[in-house]
Each structure stands twice: as structure tokens, then as C-alpha cells.
A and B are shown apart, each in its own frame.
Chain A
Amino acid sequence: MKRADEQYCLGIESTADDFGVGVSTFKGEIVANVSSGYIPEEGGIHPREAARHHAEVADKILEEALKKADIKSKDLAIIAFSQGPGLGPCLRTGATVARALASYLNIPLVGVNHSIAHIEIGKLATGTQDPVTLYVSGGNTMVTAYDCGRYRVFGETLDIALGNCLDVFAREAGLKHKKGLPLGAALEQLAAKGKKLVPLPYVVKGMDLSLSGLLTAATTALRNGSCRLEDLCYSLQENAFSMVTEVTERALAHTEKKEVLLTGGVAANRRLQSMLSVIAEEHDARFSVVPREFATDNGAMIAWTGVLAYTHGVVTPVDESFVKLRWRVEKVDVPWLK
């Protein structure tokens, strides 16, 4: 039931393969977080197919979220949606649903930056205040920290994202999506059985890193059949995770912040968590990792970031609600932070 003194924001996430709807109170209580993932028959995400999936499930997921939150649509105060960055067709599907809902209910619409939402939900869920954040997912790999009105990017991938690198390798190795088990998790399980470190490229360029060469080398070694698959998975993870950890440590040393936050889909990886906790400890910083339910793309993070933005004067008029496929975090004002 809607509590009389409470206001609710419904958030819609649809940047890639997941369509998610979350409901957050203005005080930051997540009362619903429902999603449906599109699983390709083979290969990676086909944007149009994913968008078709989103359109098909939108109704059902919205209904489920409201039911879970135990409120009616008229109880909503605002609608937030993921405005970018992401895949065009997927983003547009979510934005269309959001616009329709907001105008039907005649309530404000708030466009949210997907990457910032990953950071904000991590902060909310772990009680972190001002962290150096490593955000790693299928589409993003970046180290950010807040400074002077914006989240600044201290390091990022020069080419492919970490999750993408791991997923492509996993598919090349013939690993399959199992129920409730993402490809990355299957790779992690194999990697845990690896013993021998196969030499693979380690490419850190200043604060940035490059993963495409590593992926090519790992895939080539796989095709040669010269190494055990377990050893390759292990070596791929060790190299890639060491690279992102090194870059994160550089940002930590540079900013001298006292918190490290790991967020995004790859945050669920235990080995990556353990590497980051080592550097956090060395720099007397507190290490936090986003809980699994908020690690992958989800509607709750959009709802909560929508609340933060709206309560600090941000609204998105419908005629400015076009999606931004390549919307960088340092282009977004975050008036809720000082």
C-alpha cells in the first residue's frame, strides 16, 4: 500500500539486453526491482531483437513492479528512464514506454544517465559517500570519481569493455548461458580451476587500458588448442582484472579518496572483488561491492537516480527526451553532490 507520506519514482532500464523496472521511494527505499533479460539463441546481443523482447515484456514487467511495490500507477510521482548510453533500439523502446506513462499519468519525466545510475545505486546500497568507482559491465569499463560538480573519468578502456571481452571469449570457448548463470559466471568457474598462467598481453596506457589485443591473443591460443581451457580462462581473467585494478589504484592514489566501489555486471566476479579489496586496503580505503541484485542492469538504479535528479531540480521535457547513445558521464551535471 502507498504510504501517505511517501513519494515514489518508477525507473525504466533498457540500455542493452535487460528490460528492468524498479520503484524507489524518495527516501531511497527500493520497493520493487523486476527485470527480464533477452537471451540470444547464439552470439551476442542483436539490438533489434533485444528491443523487440523489451517491447513484448514491458507491460508484464511494469505490472509486476507495481504489484511488488504494492502501489497503483496513480501513486507515482515521477517516471525516470535510462536515456543513454546504450543500444539505440533498446533505449528507444524504454524511452517510449516512459514517455507514454509520464504523459498518461501527467507526471514529470526524468532522463537518467545509465552509468551514473550504476554508481548511485552502488553508493545507496553500500552506504558509500564519495568513492573511486570501478564500473565494469558488458558495455562499459571505467574508473570514475566525483570532482567539482561532475563525475570525472580517470581511466577507461580504449576499445572493448571488460564484460564484452570475457563474454566473447566465453562464447568462443563454447560456454553456454545456463539458467540464472551468466556467461561470465561460467567463465569464472572454469578460471577457478586454472593453474598455469599463459603469457597474454597486458596493456595499460597511462590511466587507460586496452582489452582487444588480450581478447585476440586469448582466442588465438584457444583455437591453437595449445593450452587447457581452464588455464586460459584463468590467465584471461588474471590479466584483464590486473589491468583494471592497476588503473583503479592509480585513480585512488591520484584522488586520495577513502572509498573504493565496484559496480556493474562484472562486479559479481569474486576474483575481481578480491583484487580490488587488496588495493583498497593498501590505500586505507574502504572497499564495497554492489549487491548482486543491483550489479547487472536494473530498473531500481534508474528509479533512485531519477529521485536524486528530480529532487535537485532536474526534469526532462518530452521534446528533450531523445535518447543519447553515447552519453558520457562527465557531460552530466550531478547537482545532488557537493
Chain B
Amino acid sequence: MAEVTSGTLLKKGAEASLFLTEWHGRRVIVKVRLPKKYRPTELDEWIRRYRTAHEPELMHEAKLAGVPTPTIFLVDMANAAITMEFVEGKQVKLLLGDISKEQRQELCFRIGEHIGKLHGHGIIHGDLTTSNMILNGEGKVFLVDFGLGEKNTELEAKGVDLHLMKRALQSTHYEFAEECFQNVMRGYAAVLGEQDAKSVLEKIREIERRGRYVAERREEA
């Protein structure tokens, strides 16, 4: 399917490539999961099909939960390609360092609210990094890339999801990772209540302790 890979290559990610192209007069993103030569074909096809099928479902459910996600226009299972709305805006990853402390706290709070809404509806994003959050021109934060997401209401899954967010902040925005994460959790608590936020925080600590070599974090906690 030639049209799938035509257009401008916006990003060659590890998991998928994003192309910016036109579809019925709209500017759209075509997300293609190209075959990965390193893994066996059977495994590769299974992973690509699974993620291509689940991602649009989760994005749709996220919308129902009140979290902005790009609108899905077309799912092409044969090519593991998803055509979706092009959200014009800036990646939160690129923004965080350039805005004032108040703006950063407010933005993180709103991200936390989004995550709270997702978790409240049993949606696990699966890859909560600041590269997967886009602030559009109207000031709305869109969440993208649900390829590693799942439907799950267990505390464990929520904990892992937020643990990833924390890790992403630590590896990319270490200067203010702690402050950001605290505000994310404030936003999270604002949606789900203090009690739920507290249990998930405890879960995150448990997950950290389970990991390898985490004495320092234990002291911090």
C-alpha cells in the first residue's frame, strides 16, 4: 500500500514510524509499525497486529474518559498502519525546560489529571513519557501513543504506569523531576481522591523496591 509510506517522515521511532501526509484534504499522521527484522516473523507479526488493534481502541476509550487523544480515521491491519488526526502543538518534553516554574507546575498538574481520568476508567497508557504528550495551540494536552497500553483496573498496573512516568521524568528532566512528579500526583489525586492517590503511591514504592538496586530510593521514600 504505497500511500501508507508516502508523505514526510516525521519521526522514526523505535516502535513505529510517523508520517505526515494528507487524507481527504486533512493533514493526518499515519503511524506505521514496520516489521522488525531482529525478531522472528511470527513474534513480530503478533506484536505489530496486537498493538495496531489495541491502540485505536484505547485512544477512543481515553476520549470517553475525557482525555484528549488524536481522532482515529483509519486502521489498516494488513499494513499495521493507523491514520489519525495531526495534533499541531509542542511535545511536553521540549516545553518543560522553557516555561516558568508556575507554568510547569500547572502543566504537570493537568497531566496528572489526565492520568487520573485514564486510570479511573481502567485505561493504562503503558508509555507515559513527556514525548507522548502534546500541548496544542488551545492549551489542551493530548496524550498519544497508546501502543503499549492495556485495559486494566488493578492497582499494580496503575502503579507501573505512574512509575514509568516518574522514571521518564528522572531520565529526561532530572533537574526538576521530583517537583514535576509531585504535581502530577496532585493532579492525579484531584481526580481520583487522596485515598486512591495514596495507595498508588505506596504501590509505586513497592514496585521500586522490587526492582534492582534501589536502596537510595528507599531512603528517599
Taking beta carbons and an 8 Å cutoff, which residues of A are in contact with B? 84-85, 139-142, 148, 152-154, 156-159, 161, 197, 199, 202, 204-208, 238-239, 242, 245-246, 249-250, 252-254, 274-276, 278-279, 282, 324-328, 330-331
Distance between Cα atoms of A84 and B47 in the complex (Å): 37
Which of B114-122, B178-186, B210-218 forms part of the interface with chain A?
A: B210-218
Distance between Cα atoms of A180 and B129 in the complex (Å): 43
Q: Which residues of B contact A327 (CB under 8 A)?
A: 213, 215
Q: Which residues of B contact A246 (CB under 8 A)?
A: 14-15, 36
Q: Which residues of B contact A238 (CB under 8 A)?
A: 39-40, 43
Using known A-B contacts A140-B212, A246-B14, determine if residue A205 contacts B164 with beta carbons closer than 8 Å. yes
Instruction: Indicate if B32 sits at the interface (CB-CB under 8 A).
Output: no
Q: Is the CB of A157 within 8 A of B38?
A: no
Q: A207-B129, A245-B39 given; name 16 further pairs at CB < 8 Å.
A: A84-B213, A153-B167, A159-B210, A199-B46, A202-B43, A206-B126, A206-B129, A207-B164, A238-B40, A239-B43, A242-B38, A246-B14, A246-B15, A274-B38, A278-B38, A328-B214
Name B39's contact: one of A154, A253, A275 (CB within 8 Å): A275
Q: Is the CB of A157 within 8 A of B126?
A: no
Q: Which residues of A contact B170 (CB under 8 A)?
A: 152, 330
Using known A-B contacts A205-B148, A205-B160, A326-B216, determine if residue A158 contacts B171 with beta carbons closer than 8 Å. no
Distance between Cα atoms of A142 and B212 in the complex (Å): 10
Taking beta carbons and an 8 Å cutoff, which residues of B are in contact with A? 12-15, 36-40, 42-43, 46-47, 126-129, 131, 148, 160, 164, 167-168, 170-171, 174, 207, 210-216
Q: Is the CB of B216 within 8 A of A328?
A: yes
Using known A-B contacts A139-B212, A205-B148, A206-B168, determine if residue A250 contacts B39 with beta carbons closer than 8 Å. no
14 A/B residue pairs, CB under 8 Å, sorted by A: A157-B212, A158-B210, A205-B126, A206-B148, A238-B43, A242-B38, A246-B14, A249-B14, A254-B131, A278-B37, A279-B14, A279-B38, A326-B212, A328-B213
Q: Is the CB of B171 within 8 A of A153?
A: yes
Nearest residue, chain A, Cβ from B207: A158
Name B14's contact: one of A202, A250, A276 (CB within 8 Å): A250
Nearest residue, chain B, Cβ from A271: B38
Q: Is the CB of A197 within 8 A of B43?
A: yes
Q: Which residues of A contact B40 (CB under 8 A)?
A: 197, 238, 242
Nearest residue, chain B, Cβ from A142: B212
Distance between Cα atoms of A105 and B187 in the complex (Å): 58
Distance between Cα atoms of A133 and B216 in the complex (Å): 23
